[in-house]
Amino acid sequence: MGRLSVNLCGIDMDNPVIPASGTFGYGYEFNEWYDINLLGTFSFKGTTRDPRFGNPTPRIAECTSGMINAVGLQNPGVDKVIAEELPKLKQCFHKPVMANVSGFSVEDYAYTCERLDKEEQVGWLEVNVSCPNVHGGGMSFGTSPQAAAEVTKAVKAVTTKPVIVKLSPNVTDIVSIAKACEEAGADGISLINTLLGMRIDLRTKRPVIKNTMGGFSGPAIFPVALRMVYQVAQAVKIPVVGMGGVSCAEDVVEMMLAGATAVEVGAQNLVDPMACKKIIDDLPAVMDKYHIKNLSDIIGGVQNG
């Protein structure tokens, strides 16, 4: 184990850097730029039970220090991911991968997770509870402790691999939701997903995004994400994966000090395809600058007062 290594839910990783779901495809696309085996792992594109074309365009809007997207979980569906995407990934990535799962009912989540749990390449299941609950009036599963816990229990009942529940920041009390997931059997928590935002085109006086609103990500949200990671890490005993606006090695160290065991990099991959490689390359020098011997030693090491 090297000085950058961490252990996430019982699985050793060479470093804590993880490209976030939706920003890294199924991995092999980025392997044309660099050897993706240098990553700790990556979270592949959000996968649902059935294929989804996604939302109507336009579904991307630029912002100061960030972007808004309303892609709408475009993906080929779990059967095609298993039959076509994972075999292609296996040719270039030789580590456990994180499978990101979305659903529109508890049954959807359980079905998709059970299918992916059987795949040898899958190390962790990252369960995104930011999706609409079609049986609960369209509100996100992640907006209530009870709904998030229900999804967690259903997934844990049909899987054997670590389940990491990905939380939405668009709530009043993210700590209560994280604790409910922990009590329901979650092996880890990842946060934050995107904040809700919008832009208006001054020429047309209409929203830039066809769906009016979308997920705001990028460096601008980093302080919000850091605060929520800190709050949740203080409240639960299971590992936390931090994300939201991470764009450099210093951000990774800051997230880990706040309590993150591993750190996902999202929007920065869309700005610079080499972002994660650069972050990993820069980490040793940043660690030396701040007198950090091993990254695993600083998890939750922020000093208050």
Mean pLDDT of 79-103: 97
Residue 32's pLDDT band, with cuts at 50, 70 and 90, is very high
H or E stretch including 278? helix 275-289
Give CA–CA dist 246/255, Å, rounded. Answer: 9
H or E stretch including 284? helix 275-289
Higher pLDDT, 238 or 304: 238
Statement: residue 182 has pLDDT above 90: yes
Give CA–CA dist 71/68, Å, rounded. Answer: 10
Select 6-298's CATH number: 3.40.50.20, 3.20.20.80, 3.30.930.10, 3.20.20.70: 3.20.20.70
Q: What is the pTM of this model?
A: 0.96
Active site positions, annotated: 131
Please provide the DSSP assignment of 126-138 as one string.
EEETTSB-TTTTT
Pick the range with the lowest mean pLDDT from 68-82, 125-139, 199-213, 272-286. Answer: 125-139
Instruction: Encode pLDDT of 36-86 as tens digits.
Output: 999 999 999 999 999 999 889 999 999 999 999 999 889 999 999 999 999
HSE-up of residue 71 (Cα within 13 Å, Cβ side): 15
HSE-up of residue 120 (Cα within 13 Å, Cβ side): 5
The domain spans of the chain are 6-298
